[in-house]
Amino acid sequence: MHYNDLIQIYFERSNALQWLWTLYVVVIGGLLAFSSLRKQKDMVTAILVTVLFCAFAFKNMGSIGDLTMQRIAALQAVKQYPSNTDAVESKARMTIEPTLVAPDYEGIRNFHITCDILTIAALWAMELRRVKMARREELQAA
């Protein structure tokens, strides 16, 4: 395996990781849009959406964790690759390697969990608002 192969692996893992985060953001946006457009209270739907989101978030975080570990391993391999006497490769290494950064898994996990909790809180805040509005309508009708 050559140095450029390791760099390519690092960026492939980074791109895959970016796609998982993009999917995560799209799902959150879709859930919040779905929840904000609902007019009638429905606890069963709220519970089902919450459970499904939790399952998705759990699997998404597992995949993000796997890719993060692969990315960290690729970065370690890049940095441990033996130096070549080739001046062009040496200059490229000195330019590229300092920019290759892989955040630690714990920070990524904590950010994901925080976003999960905030998403669930937003879903339930909207559901509770619908419940309160339904109660007000019932009291006004009585």
What per-residue confidence (pLDDT) applies to 60?
98
Per-residue pLDDT at 61 exceeds 90 = yes
What is the full DSSP assignment across 87-125?
HHHHHHHHHHGGG-----HHHHHHHHHHHHHHHHHHHHH
Closest CA to 10 of 84, 68, 89, 88: 68
User: What mean pLDDT, rounded, does the chain reach?
Assistant: 92
What is the pTM (predicted TM-score) of this model?
A: 0.85
Mean pLDDT of 11-23: 96
Question: Quick one: pLDDT at residue 67?
Answer: 96
pLDDT tens digits, one per residue of 63-120: 999 999 999 999 999 988 888 767 777 787 888 888 998 889 999 999 999 999 999 9
138: exposed, middle or buried (C-beta count within 10 Å: 0-12, 13-18, 19+)? exposed
CA distance 115 to 10: 26
Backbone angles phi, psi at 123, to 5 degrees: -60, -45
Distance CA(86)–CA(98), nearest Å, equals 19
pLDDT digits (tens, 9 = 90+) for 123-136: 999 999 999 988 88
In sequence order, which residues have a C-beta less than 8 Å from that of residue 35 and are 6 or more positions away?
Answer: 46, 49, 122, 123, 126, 127
First to last CA, the chain: 77
